[in-house]
Amino acid sequence: MCLSIPSKVVKIDKETNSATVDTMGVQRDASLDLMAEDDVQIGDYVLLHIGFVMNKIDKEDALESLKVYREIIEKMDEEDRQRAILEDDECPNRGE
């Protein structure tokens, strides 16, 4: 099973149709190609899958999910924490 950690949009590049998102302190770029034009704004929370923003989520729901993720991650060692955050949108079981 794959879980997607809510990510906050911190920058939008209209030229490349991509967004820089922050996932629990880790920033990376994600494509906006699957979203309607101007649907995602800076400050929005989104879910990613394999490098694409898949949908926008409610801020309150995102913050509650992040709270739960933080509780889980606190119980992991550092290597597992980084892997969980960095690989959340690269589900190895996609399509299965």
Which domains, and CATH codes, for the chain?
7-86 (2.30.30.140)
Give residue-wise pLDDT tens across range 29-81. 999 999 999 999 999 999 998 899 999 999 999 999 999 988 988 888 878 77
Most confident of 53-57, 83-87, 90-94: 53-57
- Strand 18-23 to 26-31 pairing: antiparallel
Q: Which of 22, 18, 26 is nearest to 7 (CA)?
A: 22
Q: What is the mean pLDDT of residues 14-32?
A: 95
- Residue 83 CB partners (closer than 8 Å, separation 6+): none
- Rounded to two decimals, the pTM is 0.79
Q: What is the mean pLDDT of residues 71-92?
A: 73
